[in-house]
Amino acid sequence: MIKQERMKVVAQQSIARHIFELTVEGGLVDEMAEPGQFVHVRVADSFEPLLRRPISVASIDKENNRFTMIYRAEGRGTQILADKKAGDEIDVLGPLGHGFPVEQAEKKAFLIGGGIGVPPLYELAKQLNSRGIETVHILGFESKQAIFYEEQFKALGDTHIATVDGSHGTEGFVTHILNELPHDFDTYFSCGPTAMLEAVQWAYPQKKGFLSYEQRMGCGIGACFACVCRTTKSETDYIKVCSDGPVFPAGVVIS
């Protein structure tokens, strides 16, 4: 069930260039289930900035009633969020949307992420591992300074890093790594820029895949029709990224 709660900030730190890790505590965590769901955060009690910010859930800690978000502070709203400190409260609406279907993976899964699309793959990797699924992580970043959670992913399975400028790992995009890896997996999950999602779909037309999309949102719950995309089903069919997704099976969304 969707809840709106003033959650307590437990910790916040910068973990890479412009990237922040924010952990909050509250009853809303009880409602979280699927990796890949997101929350809609109001960064100020005033109406400036006006709209909430959709932020993906990077890890869920049910025992301590906490969850962690990882976001890039690049606009007005996320910069205000980056100033929040332990003890502050933030207004969180969530969990929202439909996440990655972990039950679809059989034995081995590829988790392919780019930039700020990487965070939801961490909770996904944790949940897949706890179900006995082997996970291989292929993660792309701009540069060495932008990389985060490399060690955390390594603790859960094989982890390959690509950077656009070649300052760490393979030079180029995640697709350069995918070309080198054997196709010995049954399911892939991906989150990142639209161009990356397209490339990943092209790379594995025969595999079962699930992609998490990004689109500019208004309400976050499906009422405002800001984040619609057409689908491959018919000329008139459409989905709302916020409430029907953000995760969809490969081959469905026309982005």
Partner 1 sequence: MIDMSVKIPGLELKNPIMPASGCFGFGKEYAQLYDLSQLGAIMIKATTVETRLGNPTPRVAETSSGMLNAIGLQNPGLEGVYHSELPWLEQFDVPIIANVAGTTTEDYVEVAREISNAPNVHALEINISCPNVKKGGITFGTDPAVARELTRAVKEVSSVPVYIKLSPNVTDIVSIAKAVEEGGADGITMINTLLGMRLDPKTGRPVIANITGGLSGPAIKPVALRMVYEVSKQTNLPIIGMGGVTDVDDVIDFLSAGASAVAVGTANFVNPFVCPEIIGKLPERLHELGYDSVEELIGRSHRL
Provide, for the chain, the percentages of residues in helix, strand and coil under a 3-state DSSP scheme, each rounded to the nearest 5: 25, 40, 40
Long-range CB pairs of 127-134 (<8 Å, 24+ gap) are 127/35, 127/102, 128/102, 129/156, 129/157, 131/102, 131/105, 133/102, 133/105, 133/106, 133/107, 133/108, 133/109, 134/107, 134/108, 134/109
Question: What is the x/- site pattern for partner 1, positions 39-58, by CB under 8 A?
Answer: ---x----xxxxxx------
> Could you give the string, one character per residue 178-217, with x where binding to partner 1 holds by CB under 8 A and - elsewhere?
-------------------------------------xxx
CB nearer to partner 1: give 13 or 236.
236
224 is an annotated ligand-binding site residue = yes
Return d(Cα 165, Cα 141) in angstroms, integer. 9
Q: Which is nearer to partner 1, 42 or 160 (CB)?
A: 42
Q: Could you say whether residue 228 binds partner 1 (CB under 8 A)?
A: yes
Residue 178 contacts residue 172 (beta carbons within 8 Å): no
Which one-letter amino acid corresponds to residue 109? A
# binding residues, partner 1 (CB under 8 A) = 30
Q: Is 225 in the site for partner 1 (CB under 8 A)?
A: yes
CB of 199 to partner 1, least distance (A): 21
Instruction: Provide, rounded to whole angstroms, the least separation between the CB of residue 180 and partner 1.
Output: 35
The response to whether 191 counts as a known ligand-binding position is no
User: How many beta carbons lie within 10 A of that of residue 234, not counting itself?
Assistant: 8
Work out whether 232 is an interface residue with partner 1 (CB under 8 A): no
By CB under 8 A, tell whether 155 contacts partner 1: no
56 annotated as ligand-binding: yes
CA distance 178 to 189: 13
Binding status of residue 222 toward partner 1 by CB under 8 A? yes
Residue 59, class by beta-carbon neighbours within 10 Å (0-12 exposed, 13-18 middle, 19+ buried)?
buried
Residue 52 to residue 240: CA distance in whole angstroms = 17
Q: Tell me how far, at minimum, the Cβ of 92 lies from partner 1, in Å.
A: 12
List contacts with partner 1 (CB under 8 A). 1-2, 4, 42, 47-52, 93, 215-230, 236, 238, 243
Q: From the annotation, which residues make up the binding site for FAD?
A: 53-56, 70-72, 77-78
